[in-house]
Amino acid sequence: MTNDWSRQLATQAYAYGVPSVTARIKETPEDFLVTEIMEVVPSGEGEHTWLWVKKRRQNTEQVARALAKFADVKPRDIGFSGMKDFQAVTQQWFSVWKPKGAQPDWAAFEMPGVSLQKITKHSKKIKRGTHKANYFDIRLSNLDDKHGECTDRLALIQKNGVPNYFGAQRFGRQCDNMRQAEALLLEGKKINNRNLRSLVLSAARSWLFNQVVSKRVESGSWQRLYPGEPANLDGSNSVFNAVSDESQRVASMDIHPTAPLVGREDKSVMEACEELRQLENHWLGDYQAMISALKNLGLEYRRRALRSKVVDLTWDFEQMALRLRFSLPRGQFATSVIRELVTEPESDL
């Protein structure tokens, strides 16, 4: 294992080869628009105030803390489903629980880059990970596509999806989350802040997941199932062991191969797929100490789709720019789609 986490992150395999096309990503926040798609529609009645919030260059947790302070409630009384990009313009729901006392005058709420678009009521708090998907409207500027490569790649992505890598933002600025994970898991250093500790552990599991995905892409097996492999039903957290020929369902993007989110393993999950189990152990051989530490913490072992289906992908070429529109299920990263299309010019790195 290496301490040069940033360099190692850059070596993850590409599904369609390293792009020769260059473009600038997130040149302005308006180039990266994100809209949360919730399964639940607020009823208009209940103890929880739901706020449809539009924010520009603001951190989701900072907005949540500002809402708590304004409403004079504890941070735990604020709910939101997912963290949204900072260098972007995003729209998402927040919930505020204040069943007693004077209710906030939300028209008076002020925060730079933040506006309340809609205020309603519902009977339940918004819990983490409960939104269905995110809709993206992205503009890649300063596009340099001398050979018309983008169109071919977009057609491949539309048909076959992309590797479901956790994006670089999961690992922090210059992969600082991984350096903290190494200190916590391998050196025994403590992290007293509960939220930071959770973030660091999540980064470590995501890193290990990405290593397996990269090996599947590199070996050409990311578009097929190993016999008995746990398969993910598209758009859900449902996983089942593929004991029959599911090649047509894989080809149609109805189900996906999976990779592990490391934790205390239920041996029955992989007992029907000894070949893949041994391969994954081999691919993660350099990380056994980190894996053992994660297992000792009692984290739940899970399987996650190693392929992203890019839903309703459309695109338009503008003057020296490419505009993309698509949806991804919650927890999947638009940057993993962009990665297969363009690289940023060296002067921007």
> Same structural domain for residues 119 and 183?
no
User: Across the strands, what pairs with 24?
Assistant: 141
pLDDT of residue 266: 74
Q: For the chain, what percent of residues have pLDDT higher than 70?
A: 98
CA 91 – CA 29 distance, rounded (Å): 13
The mean per-residue pLDDT over the stretch 316-343 comes to 96
Name the pLDDT band for 309 (thresholds 50, 70, 90).
very high
**Residue that is written with structure tokens 């459309």 in the block:** 314
Residue 78's nearest CA partner among 33, 128, 14 is 128
Selection from 136, 167, 134, 132 nearest residue 31 by Cα: 136
Q: Do 76 and 18 lie in a common domain?
A: no
Q: Is residue 224 part of a domain?
A: yes
Residue 332 included in any domain: no
Model pLDDT, residue 242: 85
Catalytic residue from among 77, 85, 145, 234 = 85
Average pLDDT over residues 149-168: 96
Q: Which tens digits make up the pLDDT trace of 258-279? A: 999 999 877 788 988 999 999 9
Number of domains in the chain: 2
Check if 85 is active-site.
Answer: yes
| pLDDT beyond 70 at 207 | yes
Average pLDDT over residues 320-338: 96
Contact in structure between 169 and 3 (CB atoms under 8 Å): no
Domain range enclosing 120:
40-129
**Number of DSSP helices (H) and strands (E) in the chain, helices first:** 9, 16
CB 65 within 8 A of CB 195: no
Angstrom distance (rounded) from CA 67 to CA 51: 10
Q: What is the pTM of this model?
A: 0.92
109-122 residue pLDDT tens: 999 999 999 999 99
Separation CA 15–CA 201 (nearest Å): 27
Please indicate, yes or no, if residue 102 is contained in any of the structural domains.
Answer: yes
Question: Do residues 196 and 95 share a domain?
Answer: no
SS3 155: helix
| CATH number for position 85 | 3.30.2350.20
Whether residue 187 lies inside any domain: the answer is: yes
Give percent above pLDDT 90 in the chain: 85
Q: What is the pLDDT of residues 11-68, one digit of tens each?
A: 999 999 999 999 999 999 999 999 999 989 999 999 999 999 999 999 999 999 999 9
What dihedral do alpha carbons 251, 252, 254, 257 form, nearest 10°? 20
Residue 281 has pLDDT above 80, yes or no: yes
Contacts of 131 (CB under 8 A, 6+ apart): 36, 37, 38, 39, 81, 82, 92, 93, 330
212 shares a domain with 267: yes
Residues 162 and 284 in one domain: yes
- pLDDT tens for 74-91 read 999 999 999 999 999 999
Could you tell me which residue, 271 or 166, shows the higher pLDDT? 166
Q: Which amino acid is at 18?
A: V
DSSP 259: E
**Token pair of 336, please?**
């993993």
d(CA 118, CA 92): 10
CA 345 to chain centre: 24
What local confidence, expressed as pLDDT, does residue 3 receive? 56
In this structure, are 44 and 18 located in the same domain?
no
200 plus 275 within the same structural domain: yes
**Residues 168, 266 within the same domain:** yes
**Residues forming beta bridges with residue 134, ordered by sequence position:** 36, 328
At 202 the pLDDT is: 96
Q: Is residue 346 part of a domain?
A: no
pLDDT of 347 reads 54
Assess contact for 133 and 37: CB atoms under 8 A: yes
pLDDT by residue (tens digit) across 167-195? Answer: 999 999 899 999 999 999 999 999 999 88
* 211 and 185 inside one domain: yes
CB 213 within 8 A of CB 164: yes
pLDDT band at 349 (very low <50, low <70, confident <90, very high): very low
Considering the domain architecture, whether residues 193 and 60 belong to the same structural domain is answered as no
Cβ atoms of 168 and 340 within 8 Å: the answer is no
* 181 and 283 co-located in one domain: yes
